[in-house]
Structure formats: C-alpha cells, structure tokens
Structure 1
Amino acid sequence: MQKLPTVLVLSGLDPSGGAGIQADIQAITALGAHPLPVVTCLTVQDTRNVYDSVAVDTDLLRRQLMCLREDIQVDAIKLGALGSAAIVDLLVDFLRSQPPCPLVLDPVIKAAGGGELADNALVARMRQKLFPRATVITPNGPELSILGDDEDPQRAAMKLLDGGCPAVLATGGHGEDPLITNRLYTRNAAPKDWKLKRNGGEYHGSGCTLAAALSAGLARRQSLSDAIENAQSYVSGTINRALRVGRGQPVPYRGPTERTEGR
C-alpha cells in the first residue's frame, strides 16, 4: 500500500475555486504529497476580489487539529489566510505540541482587488508568534512592504529576518517586468534569485499555489532551494494552462496535464 508524505494545510475557502484551500489541495496532490485540509475562514469571494471573510470557530479548529494529531504524522505545514488573531494563538499552542516539521507561511493580507483578509491584530500576531516558527514565509511585493514596514524590498526583508523570521521568499508576481524575480533572503547568506518569464498579468491563486507546492517539496524532504525550484516550475506550468473561470483574473490550472478542452 502506498504511503505519501502529508501536509497539514490551514487556509480559507474561496468559492471561486481559484485560491485558498482548493488551490492548496490541488497543488500538494500534484506534487506527490497528501493534503490534510483545515478551513480557517469562509469568504465571500470571486476571481475579482474578496468582499467578506468570517473566521471559523477556534474550538472547532482545535478539535480538528487534536483529532488529526492523534492519528496522522504531519510531515509539513502550510498556512494561508488565517481568519483571526485567536486562530494564530491556537496554532502556536498546536505547534508546541507537535514534533518539529517544515512550516511554509503565506501571509495573506489583501486580495488582488484590494479586499482585506487580515486585520492589524492578525498581522501583528503572525509577525510576532508565527514568523519565528516558520521555515520560510512567502509574501508578494505589497505584503512584504506591509510586513516589513518599508517600500524597499531588501530593507523590508531584513527587518523581518532581524525580527526572528528564518527565511523570506519575496515573490515577484505582482510586478510588471518581463521576468518574474523570486528572491530568497536568509540570515547568513546573500539573497538568491530565481527568474521566470512573465506570462501576461496576475493570476488568481498563484501565490497560494506556489506556497502549497513548496510545502509539498519540503514534506518530501527536499532542500529549501530545491523545493523552491520545483514549486516555481510547477506554478509556471499551471499559469501556462490557466483557466478563464470568471470576469476577473485567470485561474492557474492545477489539474491533470491532459484535459478535455471546453467549448
């Protein structure tokens, strides 16, 4: 009987299927790991924007996490939209009770359309309590500026490292240059760049897809550098086969490589 590494995923539910927990499940499965999905918040969302978000009850989440802990070994953890500062506190308690494993934190703050997915209390709690526990965080350009309180990406990343975060993968999907530059900042090494050809504009759920794919690689015991390399290659492929789902951003196609084209 086959056994796959597992990734515990805590993220929000996007009804459009483009981002959030569905993107995580699809990417983790595609890259050879088994997702353990726990929904942290329910959103009113489409491919254009987020209009509302309601956090899931923390007692229910606690029971779900305890149930999983008693039954399944977790090989990596991926965190997306968390819903509330109270959920961060719950997660910190859970992490203390778990054997250490790689943790990828995608600090989801705003939707591309400007809709809020994290208030100031949640952002502050993530920065203080979760960033130091993460293997790597994966902010996009706007998120990096907010989290590091600086418009300059390098200074913002250095502030996060100085605050205890072990590694920052600053993603470049929100820029306009012909090449997307994803840059890894760590405490004891020079920044490392990966460059990809930009394919059009922005894609709904591309950041979730990258972080989830990265967590699958780490669950499979790849080095951080190799996991980033493989995750980027996967995301590039999903964007090349993107879907037109709604009137907003295209959605990365995370399904089987061979698919039947619609009308």
Structure 2
Amino acid sequence: MRIFVTGASGYIGTAVVRELIGAGHRVVGLTRSAHGAQVLEALGAEAARGVIEEPDVLRRCAAASDGVIHLAFNHDFANFGASLAADLRAVQAMGEGLAGSGKPLVITAHANGQASEDAALAFVEQGVRASIVSLAPSVHGEGDKGFVPQLIRAARERGASAYIGDGSNRWPAIHRLDAAALFRLAVESAPAGSRLDGVGDEGIPFRDIAGAIGRRLNVPVVGISPEEAQAVIGFVGMVASLDLARSGEATKELLGWKPVHPGLLADLEQDHYFALSR
C-alpha cells in the first residue's frame, strides 16, 4: 500500500513510518520543513511539503494514496479551539479525497475532538473505511516530551515526586512502538466505523509512577492535594488525579494486536527519560 501519513516526522509519526516501511508499505509523509523532509527521506519515505491547514494539499495527497493515517495535531492549549477546528477541516479534506474508494482513513482521537471523529465516521457512508485510534494519555518511549517528562521535571524542581490524594487513581499508557504497530494494523484491516483503544498498561496506580520517578531521582515521594496539583505539576495536574483506567482487549481481539514493548514502569527504569529531562 502507498500510505499518506500526516505528522510523519513527529514522535509517534516516525515510529509509524518505520513500522509501515518494515511491513513493506510505501509511505508519503506530510512535513512543513526541510528538516522534516530529511528525516522522512532518511527513513525511506517520500516527503510531501505542506501543513494540515492546507485542505487542497491534503485532499490531493489522500486521493493519490491507498490509505491515510492522520497523526498531525497542533497542541496549542492557548487556542485549543482553533486546533480542533483545523483538525476537523483536515479530516474533511482527506475524507473527500478518499470518498468512494473503499480505502482506509485512520484518524487519532483528541480530547474534545468529537467533531473530527464524527466527520471521519460520516465518510463510511461515502465508501471510506474510516476508523479512530484513541491512544492512552501517556505514549511513552525514547524521545517522549509529554506527560512523563513533565512529571520528572516537576520532581527535579520541587525535590519531591508527587501523586494526588492517596495515589490510587489509575493511569493507562502505551509504548510508542506498540502504538505504531496498532496504526499499521488499523490501516491494513480495521473494519469501517471501528474505534480502537491503544492501551498497553490498562491502569497503573499513579503513586507507582511517582514512586518510580522518585527512586530514579533519589527524592521523596509525597502525596499532595488536588488543589496543590496544578501548581506543583503544571498542566498535567489538571488530569493527574483522574482515574482513567481503560482496556485494549477489544482492540487486541479485533486486530490481533499484541503490545510487546516495555510498560511505563519498566520504561522508567531506563536512562533515556532522565537524560532528556535534565
């Protein structure tokens, strides 16, 4: 298959590109920069210059492909509404490019992104094999700049690794390489209209995550109140007290997906998180 991938030069995108090429697919990756084009070409992919705010580019690239994986998203929390609107327009453009073809459109779920999900699924009636991948909130692995590094940074700065309340709330996670395998399986064979849960660790007690960080940094592990959480941990403090346990069993059964890479706690025993967070 010739697969068009948005966000192809990013943290998850590069893993997806490697996974697809390793399985014998051809990849065309969307990138906004010359550096991104060099990254993709080094991986063995073709680079298509453009941004997700250019619907004509997306429509044309989708139409020229055998399927689409949409990973790109502007995580600008200062204007999150604009990011969601841009994502919706991108999904609509790529769906239009695939309409009537029976080809797959795999999109990534985002918080409050129901409009994009609805738009993707609406294309099922127009002959698109659309599916939605919902990843766990922590997609961990080497190169991660998201949730886990923020916790590590906060623990360094405060001199203590914090959990909220009694820390029994559960946090799901997935290794980026297992996520890449899921996206490949989705574009290859996910049924039209399917929703796929990308979850490896179904629910790690948050105090265990804080404990692993505390041991690696040699700092105390402490409980804090929900009121303190945002000030201490930053943005993730808004969600770090939530119980978010999820299961990926239905997805495993549907696609034969088997996460094989280290879970989050095992990954925190590696040096890469602590080297990147200094």
Which of the five TM-score ranges fits, normalised by the shorter chain?
Answer: 0.3 to 0.5
- The higher relative CO (CA closer than 8 Å, separation ≥ 6) is in 1
TM-score, normalization: structure 2?
Answer: 0.41
Q: Which has the higher helix share?
A: 2
